[in-house]
């Protein structure tokens, strides 16, 4: 019987998201490289026409009219949170309702994406980060 992704442990949730992203990227014609071990701050590297980009895959958490993506990692052996920087990875990638999104490092602990355009200061519209659009610019 298939489990609801929200009922999985966090490692499995992350793996499901990562595998969905890998499948999507391969279908879009990118070469996908996976680092060996679990010590890099990115999950995969994509390559197309000799250009390489480090991607950190993150699960999208649903909210009303939006979704949030956690953009920090825990420092091993500590309760401290560390925000990803451009030295760690080039982009984040997530999947929400069968749509894929790619966004840069904003330097925050989480990023909220609105499913409808909002005029709030610093609000981010999910539509602006659709992977189809972003990948065409790489």
Give per-residue pLDDT as tens, 108-123: 999 999 998 777 778 8
| Per-residue pLDDT at 123 | 87
Q: What are the tokens at 127?
A: 């539509």
Phi, psi (deg, nearest 5) at residue 20:
-60, -45
Report the domain count for the chain. Answer: 1
| Per-residue pLDDT at 1 | 35
Q: Which pTM does this prediction carry?
A: 0.89
Which CATH number do you get for residue 10?
Answer: 3.40.1350.10
| Per-residue pLDDT at 5 | 61
Sites in the chain below the pLDDT cut of 50: 1-3
C-alpha–C-alpha distance, residues 51 and 30, integer Å: 10
Nearest alpha-carbon partner for 87 in 124, 48, 52, 40 = 40
Q: Which residues pair with 103 in a beta bridge?
A: 92
What domain range includes position 115? 5-137
């Amino acid at each position: 019987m298939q489990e609801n992704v929200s009922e999985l442990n966090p490692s499995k949730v992350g793996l499901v998201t990562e595998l969905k992203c890998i499948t999507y990227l391969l279908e879009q014609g990118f070469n996908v490289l996976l680092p060996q071990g679990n010590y890099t701050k990115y999950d995969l590297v994509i390559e197309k026409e000799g250009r390489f980009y480090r991607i950190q895959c993150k699960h999208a958490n649903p909210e009303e009219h939006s979704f949030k993506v956690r953009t920090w990692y825990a420092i091993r052996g500590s309760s401290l949170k560390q925000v990803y920087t451009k030295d760690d990875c080039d982009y984040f990638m997530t999947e929400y309702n069968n749509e894929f999104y790619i966004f840069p490092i904003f330097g925050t602990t989480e990023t909220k994406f609105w499913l409808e355009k909002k005029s709030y200061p610093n609000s981010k519209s999910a539509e602006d980060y659709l992977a189809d659009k972003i990948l065409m610019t790489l």
